[in-house]
Structure formats: structure tokens, C-alpha cells
Structure 1
Amino acid sequence: MSQQPNVLLLGPPGAGKGTQSANVADEYDIPHVTTGDALRANKDMETEHGTPRSFMEAGELVPDPVVNEIVAEALGDEGYVLDGYPRNEEQVAYLADITTLDAVCLLSVSESELVDRLTGRRVCDECGANYHVEFDQPAEEGVCDECGGELIQREDDTEDTVRERLRVYHETTEPVVEHYREAGVLQEIDGEQAPDAVWDDLRATIDETV
């Protein structure tokens, strides 16, 4: 396919957005745009509300108007896959003003599966390599294959923290999903399949809509 699509990938924490966004970026030769990466890459960009750095160094949430300008700067002229934005209905409206989406895809995963995925993650405290107690085990339990470091469970991945992250997602971001569903443009992908099967479905969906 010659056209480089504008893709929005939605889904809760643990749904696999990072993995599948990377696949989309590689397949269609388009940038993978995440809010965090965009803010870090443009932390000194001047906006009428200040620079992202001024909020980040103060430990404050970067306000929507600043995030909006940073994302607008990051979107490519020849396609992109957007992951982690928009997070609320004000951002939805802003995005609609600055670009046209070719495909809006939701990775659907049940809450119980998300909890299993996220609480099972283990990270090397030396090199940062990721493993999973069920899906991606190291050769020796508790030891990193890459560097021999100890595998730990991050505080972000304990069950209480995971359930709070999912509660925040339901409260703030599900209205975004509903907006696109009601607009008739949301395409749902079964995110509980093996990653390769998810990718096959996602690629087919993008190809059909652009």
C-alpha cells in the first residue's frame, strides 16, 4: 500500500498499544507519536502557556493546551500512528481541528486479562529488560537473560496500582472511546489474541479503511 495512513490506536494499559504501534510504524514507514515522547522531545518548546519543562520540573501535569501544541508539532505530514492521545474529550476536539484520522482502532482486552498481564511483568533492575512470569520467562527464574541482573516487580505493576491505573483509564479515557464509537468510526480488535494475530487483524483493518 503506497498511502501512509493517519492511525489512532486506543486501549487500556496493558492492551499492547506500544507493541502494535511499533508494528504500524514499521509497516507503513510513519512516525510513532506518544504524548510522553513528544513532550520529552519538545520540552523546551515555547507555548503561550509556558514550556513543558516548566511543568515537568515542578512535578505538575502538563496542561492540555501545551500537550495539544506539542502533539500538533509531532504529527507528520505523511502519516503517523498516535498512541496515548487524545485522553479526554477536549483533546478529541482539538485533534479533529488539526488532522483527519484514517483509522481509529481499539485493542479490546478484559480487565482480568489486563491485571494478569500487568502484575506479571518483571523488569531487570540493571538493564531494564522486560519479562513476564507467564508469557515471556527468562531462562533462569528471577535472572535477566541479557545481563544477569535481578528481575523485580515495579511498584507500578502491583495489583493495587494496576487496578487504580485501570480505574483512571475508565474514568478519563473511555469517554474518548465512546466518542469514536458513536461517530461510527471505531474499529475493535481482539487484543487477547497472540500478538502476531492481533497484528494481522490490525493491519487488515488499517488496509481496509485507508
Structure 2
Amino acid sequence: MEKHILLLGPPGAGKGTQSKRLAEEFGLEHVTTGDALRGNKQMDISEMDTEYDTPGAYMDAGELVPDAVVNKIVEEALSSADGYVLDGYPRNIEQAEVLSSITELDVAILLSVSEEELVDRLTGRRVCPECGASYHIEFEPPAETGVCDECGATLTQRDDDTEETVRDRLRVYEENTEPVVEHYRDRDKLVTVNGETTPGDVFDSIVDVINS
């Protein structure tokens, strides 16, 4: 059965993990803005009167890809999907309005997680600078503290995983995405799921919402 699902939630809420599982469970396309951008780096956008002629040129220059370009890429990704779970878009009210004009959602599911829990989750992340493996000091620690299981390199904390940066990211998310949450609440599309339980319980709650 074709389903159109949007997952909303702050950084660290578990959208990526849950989206992947949902895509597998229901045979849906997992559409994220990051993947859609990477998959369409060479898309010709010269007719859009933008600074660059491809999304990849923005990415190579380390610049934000304009909303109009992101909208076009998401529209392209959704047009070829029978059913989808959308993760990481829309990030603001303008994108939400564009999304409404190109597709009809069945449900928008908000993963609710407290700020303190999000800070714990995000500041505990450690990554391997050599092979890219990712760990968490509390939830998924390496066998030996501070050492990568895969290649033995010393694990590091990314600059954007420090507490100050994390709280700043959460504040920006709140400012941009709160209007998006209200947009779907006003249209009776929003269902809130407790994102602080185990990943398995969160998944079961999401499946219950979709099946109901």
C-alpha cells in the first residue's frame, strides 16, 4: 500500500534510524535531503537563475543550497517514488507549503525528545577520523574506550557535537521548524510520538500510528 509519511524531530531524535526501518518495513522510498542532493549533484538548474548551474557546485563551494533548488530536487525524488518516508525536509514553513503543493501526506509524525536528552545523545557521539565509524560513549561504546573497533584509530568528537554547538543547533531547529510543526497540527496531519523510549518501542509506536 502506497504511504506518504513525514518524520519530524530535532537533531538527535532518531529520525534517520526510524526512517530506514520504516522504509524497509513498508517497502517505501527513504527520501532525505542529503541523499537527494548527493544523488542530483549534476542536475542542470541553469534555468533557475541561481548563482551556480548545479547543486553540486554549491556543495563543493561549501555554500547552502538555496531552498528553490532543494524544493526542485525533493519534488524530483518524490515524483519517482510510489510511497515514501521523508526525513529532513521540510525545514521551514516555505518548504512545507511547497511540499503541500506537490504531494499529499498521510501523516506527519513528530518524534518528541527533551532538550537534555538530545544534548546527552549528541554530545556523546564519537567518530573515527580514519574509517568514519560512529560510536556513542553511553549507548554504543567501542570495546576499548576512545579506540575504534574497526581500525584502532583514536576516536574524536566532532566540532558540532560540543554542548555549546548542540544547544545552538537545537535553538535554530526550534526557530525554523516550530512553524512547520504548527502547519501540520493545523491541518490535523500531526501525530506526536515519544522519542525517548528504546528505538524498538519508538518504532512500534510509529507503526501503530501508520496502521491506524
* TM-score, scaled relative to structure 2: 0.93
**Are positions 1:125 and 2:129 aligned together?**
yes
> What displacement does 1:86 show?
0.6
The 3 A distance-change label for structure 1 pair 77 and 125 is: closer
Q: For 1:131 and 1:55, how far apart are their aligned partners in 2?
A: 30
Q: Corresponding residue for 1:25?
A: 23
SS at structure 2 position matched to 1:9: strand
**Are positions 1:54 and 2:73 aligned together?**
no
* Residue identity matched to 2:189: V
Q: For 1:87 and 1:130, how far apart are their aligned partners in 2?
A: 25
SS at structure 2 position matched to 1:187: strand
Q: Find the partner of 1:176 among 135, 158, 180.
A: 180
| RMSD of aligned residue pairs (Cα, Å) | 1.1
Q: Where in structure 2 are the equivalents of 1:145-184 lying within 5 Å?
A: 145-184=149-188
SS at structure 2 position matched to 1:13: coil
Q: Where in structure 2 are the equivalents of 1:136-151 lying within 5 Å?
A: 136-151=140-155
Q: Find the partner of 2:205 among 196, 201, 204.
A: 201
**Are positions 1:65 and 2:63 aligned together?**
no
Q: For 1:32 and 1:191, how far apart are their aligned partners in 2?
A: 19
* Residues 53-86 of structure 1: per-residue CA shift (max 9 Å, x gap): 2322333211111111100111143101100101
Q: Does the CA-based 8 Å contact 2:33-2:88 persist in structure 1?
A: yes
* Residue identity matched to 1:70: I
* Residue identity matched to 2:171: R
* TM-score, scaled relative to structure 1: 0.94
Q: Find the partner of 2:11 among 7, 13, 21.
A: 13
Q: For 1:179 and 1:19, how far apart are their aligned partners in 2?
A: 25
* Residue identity matched to 2:113: V
SS at structure 1 position matched to 2:6: strand
SS at structure 2 position matched to 1:100: coil
Q: Does the CA-based 8 Å contact 1:126-1:149 persist in structure 2?
A: yes
SS at structure 2 position matched to 1:143: coil
> What displacement does 1:204 show?
1.1
Q: For 2:182 and 2:89, how far apart are their aligned partners in 1?
A: 15
Q: Does the CA-based 8 Å contact 1:51-1:66 persist in structure 2?
A: no
Q: Find the partner of 1:80 among 81, 84, 87.
A: 84
